[in-house]
Amino acid sequence: TKSYLYRKEMIQFHDNDPTVAQLGGRDRTNIIHAAKLLAQVDQVKAVELNCGCPMRCARKGRYGAFLLNEPDLLCSIVQGMRSALHGKALCAVKIRIYKNDPLRTLNLCRRLTSPQECGAQILTVHGRSVCKEHDA
């Protein structure tokens, strides 16, 4: 969120416990801005882009698992996140597999973790595809 007061009131951390913050969306500028803000929080050790959400709202907004249908945009967002974090927190991504296409999934994984392309330092692969009615 853009509101400092909202962030101060609503986003709280328990003592100094390490935290992985998860972001969702498809707006590169907003996600990079959020990553920059999170990089300033000592407890945040990693920031993860959630590309695994199969919910109807994610389909409608073309984020979550549905962002997998736009790998160039996804890679651009991850690259921007990595740069925005300035090494203060790890850059992470969670994806689902492509239905019946393990090679496509593997190629995306390689692309996301390639230091020359996206540079994600943590990759979580949810071992299921989006359900039939919401295939990515």
Just list the catalytic residues: 53
d(CA 49, CA 100): 23
C-alpha dist (Å) from residue 103 to 50, 79, 128 = 21, 22, 15
Taking alpha carbons only, the member of 59, 67, 55, 56 closest to residue 112 is 67
Longest distance between any two alpha carbons in the chain, whole Å: 46
Q: Which residues contact 126 (CB under 8 A, 6 or more apart)?
A: 52, 94, 95, 96, 97
